Amino acid sequence: MSSCQETQKCGSPQDLPEYLFRELDDFIEALPTKEGHLITALHKAQSLFGYLPEEIQEYVANAMNVPVVQVFGVVSFYTFFTMIPKGKHPISVCMGTACFVKGADKVVDAFKNQLNVAVSEVTEDGKFSIDCLRCVGACALAPVVLVGEKVYANVTPDQVKDIIAEFA
């Protein structure tokens, strides 16, 4: 769980805790060199804050002595990075071909209905968010759902309520 989620301050950049910026500074200062470590710094920033809004991207750019456009390019290119806050328990549904053919779209709809949020949104209590992934490389387990790092295989819409209950 990221510190941002622990403090319940993931909603807007002005709410980001100052101590997390200090922790990010300490991490960047401890790098052997700034050159070639932009992705490393961004991984740390996202683990601290839970996501990478514009304010954090600018902060990392300044700390790493690179243009903001370069940071944005990296953040928008790599699907691991997100500019949108995630819930305490992020739900990711694989939408690769095997998963889709076996009903992943219906599983997504079941999560949306149970949690009353759309894809890329966070529940009002901050506990859950829903995202779709291109492929998790576990086609034999299709459809696949990840909640945080926990993997669920052969998921049906009927199982969604029980999956949510495990984390509620």
> Within this chain, do residues 93 and 73 fall inside the same structural domain, yes or no?
no
- Cα 148 to Cα 68: distance, rounded to the nearest angstrom: 29
In the prediction, which pLDDT does 43 show?
A: 95
Please tell me whether 139 is known to bind a ligand: yes
- Quickly list H helices, 50-158: 54-64, 68-77, 97-101, 104-115
Number of independent structural domains in the chain: 2
Q: Is the residue at 134 inside a domain?
A: yes
Is 108 a member of any domain? yes
14 confidence band (pLDDT: 50, 70, 90): low
pLDDT at position 19, please? 94
- Regarding whether 120 and 97 lie in a shared domain, the answer is yes
Structural domain span for residue 72: 18-77
Chain CA centroid to CA 105, Å: 20
d(Cα 4, Cα 2) in Å, to the nearest integer?
Answer: 5
On whether 132 is known to bind a ligand per the annotation, the reply is no
Q: Known binder of ligand: residue 10?
A: no
94, containing H or E segment = strand 89-94
Residue pLDDT, tens place only, 52-83: 999 999 999 999 999 999 999 999 998 789 99
In a domain, 44, yes or no: yes
94 has binding-site annotation = yes
What pTM was computed for the model? Answer: 0.67
**Using an 8 Å Cβ cutoff, are 42 and 52 in contact?**
yes
Whether residue 49 contacts residue 16, with contact meaning beta carbons closer than 8 Å, is answered with: yes
**Residue 89: exposure state from Cβ atoms within 10 A (0-12, 13-18, ≥19):** buried
122 and 155 fall within a common domain: yes
